[in-house]
Amino acid sequence: MTNLSFDVEKIREDFPIFSRELPDGRPLVYLDSGNSSQKPNQVIETMREHLALHYSNVGRAMHVLGSESTEAYEGARDKIAAFVGAPSRDEVIFTKNASEALNLVAYAFGNPSNTDPRFTLGPGDEIVISEMEHHSNIVPWQLLAQRTGATLKWFGVTDEGRLDLDLSVITERAKIVSIAHQSNVLGTVNPVAEVLGRAREVGALVMLDASQSVPHHPVNVAGLGVDFVAFTGHKMVGPSGIGVLWGRSELLEAMPPFLGGGEMIEAVWMDRSTYAPVPHKFEAGTPPIVEAIGLGAAVDYLSAIGMEAIEAHERTLTAYALDALREVSGLRLIGPSTLEQRGGTVAFTLEGVHPHDVGQILDDQFGVAVRVGHHCARPLHLRFGIPATTRASFYLYNTTGEIDALVRGLHHVQKVFA
């Protein structure tokens, strides 16, 4: 059932990329927002205007431009804090992407400069992740385990693409549990409350990679009750080069600086330094000023439409896609086959055709942009015994007609390889 209050055609008018034609006059059918979303005029113009009329470094200059730039940059922090329900604006740390945010937290564990018992880590201690993680939520913890001698453990994944919720994986030795809020391949929305409950029983901290959830659903970090949340701007109609780490104030204050340099200091002598308060303690050097302001504009744009409305629209698209793809013979869905606890990301294989060939034909002949490969989640693909998948991911600007174009393209692929 279509959400009549959600005018997708009007929304599409905000995105200049949808006015272009591909070679041979084909329209663009962009089904790759799980990789990176397109940008509306409101974000593009905000960034252009700041560069043209207000640009200066932040937190340093006393002149008019410096004040305007700092006000816009810190104003973006306020917008993002409100967007995700952060209790304090100072809990919002700007990073260059979600990967850096995840690495920042991993760096705090087992660090010789940090004696806080919540972050001490060594042989006998455990780190818990899951088999469905993006590499950005696997590799930093592998490196941490190698550095400290701690043990890396993980939740498995069921045949349906759900988290195999064996809570005994989280033992009394666990110090940190870091999982995806929503899978970038399966679309699965994970049961945060159950994982959090067990982690709290044993005193472990909990981090969420929310790169695939914050752009698509209402997310309230305080309501989730976790300790850290990472997400990125380029997946939520904002620019690349800007990400966010949210963390509870008392934890951020206990963590050591991640990078050293200008802005993150309080005072410097030749033999020692003291550090600025959170959030600036974690923002060394000149930050991605215009990118942060662009992310603030993206938050304004999404908020004006309403995250509940966006979620409902994507739910309609996902239901339509799941039904339509069932009509494609030889198609194997990788992930949940129902709408229960899943988002608008659909990964699949097509019998007898490599995903790279599927993607190329869809693009070359139908203008349908999907992603193919292991989507930076190779262990998950190994779990399902496949080298790669084709992934279609939906967002606020997509239509059911574009899903029809995807299905027509898949039928054509089958004819080519028959």
- The token pair at 346 is 């659909």
pTM above 0.95, yes or no: yes
pLDDT of residue 67: 96
Give dist(CA 329, CA 26) in Å, integer.
26
Question: Which of 283, 304, 325 is a domain's end point?
Answer: 304
Q: Are residues 339 and 226 in the same domain?
A: no
Instruction: Determine, yes or no, domain membership for 3.
Output: no
Q: Are residues 290 and 335 in the same domain?
A: no
Q: Which residues carry out catalysis?
A: 376
Q: For the chain, what is the domain count?
A: 2
Question: Which of 304, 333, 357 is a domain's end point?
Answer: 304
Assess whether the previous peptide bond of 279 is cis (omega < 30° from 0).
Answer: yes
Q: Which domain holds residue 316?
A: 8-30+307-416
Q: Are residues 220 and 316 in the same domain?
A: no
| CA distances, 317 to each of 39, 321, 336, 395, 398 (Å) | 20, 6, 15, 9, 8
pLDDT of residue 2: 40
Question: Which of 253, 272, 304 is a domain's end point?
Answer: 304
Q: Are residues 226 and 93 in the same domain?
A: yes
Q: Are residues 164 and 234 in the same domain?
A: yes
Instruction: Determine, yes or no, domain membership for 116.
Output: yes
Give dist(CA 211, CA 409) in Å, integer.
29
pLDDT of residue 61: 80
Instruction: Determine, yes or no, domain membership for 202.
Output: yes
Instruction: Determine, yes or no, domain membership for 12.
Output: yes
Q: Are residues 217 and 352 in the same domain?
A: no
Do residues 395 and 54 touch, judged by C-beta distance below 8 A?
no
User: Which residues have C-beta within 8 Å of that of residue 348, sequence separation ≥ 6?
Assistant: 325, 331, 332, 333, 334, 389, 390, 391
Angle at the Cα of 18 from the Cα atoms of 16 and 23, rounded to 5 degrees? 115
Instruction: Determine, yes or no, domain membership for 66.
Output: yes
Q: Are residues 19 and 116 in the same domain?
A: no
Name the amino acid, one letter, at 64: V
What is the C-alpha radius of gyration for the chain, rounded to an integer number of angstroms? 22
Q: Are residues 210 and 350 in the same domain?
A: no
Question: Which residue has 């949940």 as its token pair?
Answer: 336
Write the CATH number for 269: 3.40.640.10
Instruction: Determine, yes or no, domain membership for 1.
Output: no
Write the CATH number for 355: 3.90.1150.10
Strands 228-232 and 243-247 turn out to be: antiparallel
Question: Which residue has 């564990």 as its token pair?
Answer: 109
List residues bridging with 369 in a β-sheet: 30
CB atoms inside a 10 Å sphere around CB 286: 13
Q: Are residues 408 and 271 in the same domain?
A: no
Q: Are residues 276 and 315 in the same domain?
A: no
Name the amino acid, one letter, at 161: G
Instruction: Determine, yes or no, domain membership for 250.
Output: yes
Give dist(CA 34, CA 157) in Å, integer.
20
As averages over each run of 10 residues, the pLDDT of the chain (418 residues) reads 71 97 92 98 98 94 94 98 98 98 97 94 98 98 98 98 97 98 98 98 98 98 98 98 98 97 96 97 97 98 98 98 97 98 98 97 97 98 98 98 98 95
Do residues 177 and 128 touch, judged by C-beta distance below 8 A?
yes
Q: Are residues 214 and 345 in the same domain?
A: no
pLDDT of residue 5: 66
Q: Are residues 319 and 249 in the same domain?
A: no
Instruction: Determine, yes or no, domain membership for 2.
Output: no
